[in-house]
Amino acid sequence: MKRLIKNSLNYSLVVYFFCFLVVISINANAQKNRVNTQPKITFETTSHNYGVIFAGDDGEVDFNFKNEGKSPLIISNVVSSCGCTIVKWSKDPVMPNQTGTIKVAYNTNIIGDIKRSITVSTNDQSQNRIVLILTGKVVAKTK
């Protein structure tokens, strides 16, 4: 009788273990398939160095990106680290294999070092926040 109970218990453990492996495998495949159908944002560059520029010079720069995923990419928000930087972007979804641009305008009338960041929020689950960096130095024009 003890041997029958022990064998029964061993078989139950084997069955439970097998079911556990099946569930884990199904879950892993579902996650893999979901990731493969998500949007994927890729920037040409995530930083821009103005170098040394004069006050009043053009402070506009474009950050170009591509949706390398398989579903529409949505840029839900773009926030600058200060009011000296203005950002513009399209609120329309970027379809797979299409490109988009985030336009940034830095106020070059502010003399001194440029160390600013722009945070981009997206529906790309692998990187839902991307930080773009602006660096450089603005100097006064000599008369």
pLDDT-flagged residues of the chain (< 50): 19, 21
CA distances from 58 to 46, 53, 117, 118, 126 (A): 19, 9, 18, 18, 34
**What are the structural domains of the chain?**
41-139 (2.60.40.10)
- Strands across the sheet with 41-43, in order? 41-43, 60-67, 99-106, 85-89
Rounded to whole angstroms, the Cα distance separating 125 from 92 reads: 18
Please count the other Cβ atoms lying within 10 Å of the Cβ belonging to residue 135. 14
pLDDT digits (tens, 9 = 90+) for 11-40: 555 555 554 545 565 555 555 555 578 999
Beta-bridge mates of residue 75: 122
Please count the other Cβ atoms lying within 10 Å of the Cβ belonging to residue 87. 17
The pLDDT of residue 45:
97
The pLDDT of residue 142:
82
Residue pair 138/123 in contact (Cβ under 8 Å)? The answer is: no
Rounded to whole angstroms, the Cα distance separating 90 from 87 reads: 10
Nearby residues of 123 by Cβ (< 8 Å), 6 or more positions away: 38, 39, 73, 74, 76
The answer, as to whether pTM is greater than 0.85, is: no
